[in-house]
Structure 1
Amino acid sequence: MSQSILSPVTPPTPSQPATSSPATLGDFAQETLALTRRLFIQLKRRPSTLVAGVVQPLMWLILFGALFQNAPQDFLGNSLAYGQFLGAGVIVFTAFSGALNSGLPVMFDREFGFLNRLLVAPLASRLSIVGASALFIMAMSLIQTVAIIVVSGFLGAGFPTLSGLGLMLLILALLVVAVTALSLGLAFALPGHIELIAVLLVVNLPLLFASTALAPLAFMPTWLQAIAAANPLSYAIEPIRHLYLQPQWHWSDIVMQAPWGDVSLWVCVAGLLGFATVSIVAIQPLLKRSLG
């Protein structure tokens, strides 16, 4: 036999285990943007979703404005035209509806198995799945809001100032984050899309009519005033309505007269911030159980 065969074989030196670098904020942002891009690719393949999302609130604005055009002058308590009054309600309800439906794509991903593929992928953070849904809904709400502002402006409602527009976007972002979190929580908690759609149908319209989107508080019965004044939608609608009517606004401005007292602009924004915080905290156990 040759010397090479008779020579003792040196055992290979065990390699050091690969150490994975901890996830960074950049990794999380990259994953979130990639998953958001996937949602926009789906939207590009089904552009009718975007068209319907823009046309529907415009139909609400035009048809409801025409329906109440001949309403009594004291219906709104001042010389405000109903079209001016309605614009804020349509903007907020459109953003709310989009955020409420944000759980449906996640539910369909669950049912078709795509979510399982994401869960076994080496993601830096599985919360990027939630962040992508929130970013997509906020982008859609921005497009819808711009369309509603332009159309309502040409219908005589006027245009907000730049500072007012910035605060409007902040208010909508807080509402969208809060409702998107709750919708995603339902998507992970309910067994299927039939149950999720049933819950959304039950919640959607009652929250609209139990808010100040279509009528002022003074026009409602006492029991409904208390519900509408506690409705998070009213805390978004009334500040936006105020920003339309008052070019020079201040944080201490009174925007809603609730049954228990006056509500200022900063209280509405703080209430929405609290609503978003509570929603995010409330879904944490569901996310940990479902996403691991």
Structure 2
Amino acid sequence: MSVAPAGRPPASAESAAALGLAPLLTTPRARPGWLVLPARVGAMCLVELQKLRHDRTELYTRAVQPALWLLIFGETFTRIRAIPTGGVPYLDFLAPGIIAQSAMFIAIFYGIMIIWERDSGVLTKLLVTPTPRAALVTGKAFAAGVKSLMQAAVVLVLATLLGVSLTWNPLRLLGVAAAVLLASAFFSCLSMSIAGIVLTRDRLMGVGQAITMPLFFGSNALYPVDVMPDWLRAVSAVNPLSYQVDALRGLLLDTPSHLLLDFLVLLAAAAAGITAASCLLGRLAR
């Protein structure tokens, strides 16, 4: 019986190295504990975005609605000057609101994907992995945010072609990206939370359609808060979309805004949405 010389790897290891399979036979180095959760969130986000790479139709079709708002609604109300905007052309005033609206419309129906994953058995497999539910939800939420950023870029280009005076300061654009990501994370988590309550796609579609337009019209996306009746001002004050629009206007148009308050509200809303969706996620898999 032959014995391999001391200090020399077994023949199987030599052949594996020759075939380039050594990385598959070695135990990967463990990540530090503080990196585990961000790594899993990033992995979930990448998984979601892989779906978009295989089918880009959604990006093109969703660009139609914001284009119509800017081309028809914006151009028309700019001409008739029916809404006071404090000296800002109405098309300029409208553009940040349409960015926020298009991002919300992408995120608010994100729960349908969760229900589809439940029906196909994918969600059950994800829930039995060591990945915390909060990481699953956060990854999906920020994947919705990345999709919304793509939509926001389309609206920005279209608004620029229409002559809207937007800033291209890189720091301000980073702030715009942060506002879009946080708001999209909240609205996608709101959708996932509703999915955990209603449990079916048809019900989710009905609830989503019922709350989408009130959220939009109950914000400052189309008109300033000053012209709203008192009851609508109260609705706007608790509507996260209003804070997103206010932040976008301040960053893109340099109009008076409350950036610190806006981002604090968006951050708190995103955290609350992730918490709620994480608690209700298991209910879908029962």
Q: Same fold (TM over 0.5)?
A: yes
Alignment pair present for 1:143 and 2:159: no
Aligned to 1:181: 189
Alignment of 1:114-263 (within 5 A): 114-120=122-128, 122-160=129-167, 161-246=169-254, 254-255=256-257
Aligned to 1:279: 273
More displaced 10-residue stretch of structure 1: 47-56 or 24-33: 24-33
Alignment pair present for 1:83 and 2:77: no
In 2, the alpha carbon distance for the partners of 1:23 and 1:187 equals: 34
- CA drift of 1:81 comes to 1.2
- Give the conservation status (yes or no) of the 8 Å contact 1:23–1:124: no
Q: Structure 1 counterpart of 2:65, which letter?
A: Q
- Give the conservation status (yes or no) of the 8 Å contact 2:85–2:93: no
Aligned-pair identity in percent equals 28
SS in 2 for 1:214: coil
- CA drift of 1:95 comes to 1.3
Alignment pair present for 1:95 and 2:103: yes
Aligned to 2:263: 269
Output the TM-score relative to the length of structure 2.
0.79
- Give the conservation status (yes or no) of the 8 Å contact 1:181–1:279: yes
- Give the conservation status (yes or no) of the 8 Å contact 1:126–1:291: no
Seen in structure 2, the aligned counterparts of structure 1 residues 131 and 114 have a Cα distance that, compared at 3 Å, is same
Alignment of 1:15-94 (within 5 A): 24=33, 26-72=35-81, 75-94=83-102
Seen in structure 2, the aligned counterparts of structure 1 residues 52 and 228 have a Cα distance that, compared at 3 Å, is same
More displaced 10-residue stretch of structure 1: 46-55 or 83-92: 46-55
In 1, the alpha carbon distance for the partners of 2:45 and 2:239 equals: 30
Seen in structure 2, the aligned counterparts of structure 1 residues 77 and 61 have a Cα distance that, compared at 3 Å, is closer
In 1, the alpha carbon distance for the partners of 2:275 and 2:125 equals: 26
Seen in structure 2, the aligned counterparts of structure 1 residues 65 and 77 have a Cα distance that, compared at 3 Å, is closer
Seen in structure 2, the aligned counterparts of structure 1 residues 42 and 245 have a Cα distance that, compared at 3 Å, is closer
SS in 1 for 2:79: coil
In 1, the alpha carbon distance for the partners of 2:80 and 2:211 equals: 28
- CA drift of 1:30 comes to 4.8
More displaced 10-residue stretch of structure 1: 129-138 or 99-108: 129-138
Q: Structure 1 counterpart of 2:158, which letter?
A: V
Can you list the C-alpha shifts for 1:168-187, whole angstroms capped at 9, x where unaligned? 12222221222222221222
Q: Structure 2 counterpart of 1:87, which letter?
A: A
In 2, the alpha carbon distance for the partners of 1:235 and 1:99 equals: 17
In 2, the alpha carbon distance for the partners of 1:52 and 1:272 equals: 27
In 2, the alpha carbon distance for the partners of 1:22 and 1:289 equals: 31
Alignment pair present for 1:104 and 2:112: yes
Structure 2: runs of 5+ lacking an equivalent: 1-29
CA RMSD, aligned part only?
A: 2.6
- CA drift of 1:198 comes to 0.8
Can you list the C-alpha shifts for 1:56-109, whole angstroms capped at 9, x where unaligned? 322222221123132237x22433211101101001111112121111111111
Higher Rg: 1
- Give the conservation status (yes or no) of the 8 Å contact 2:189–2:274: yes
In 2, the alpha carbon distance for the partners of 1:124 and 1:224 equals: 42
Seen in structure 2, the aligned counterparts of structure 1 residues 214 and 118 have a Cα distance that, compared at 3 Å, is same
More displaced 10-residue stretch of structure 1: 33-42 or 200-209: 33-42
- Give the conservation status (yes or no) of the 8 Å contact 1:31–1:123: no
In 1, the alpha carbon distance for the partners of 2:198 and 2:127 equals: 18
In 1, the alpha carbon distance for the partners of 2:166 and 2:264 equals: 25
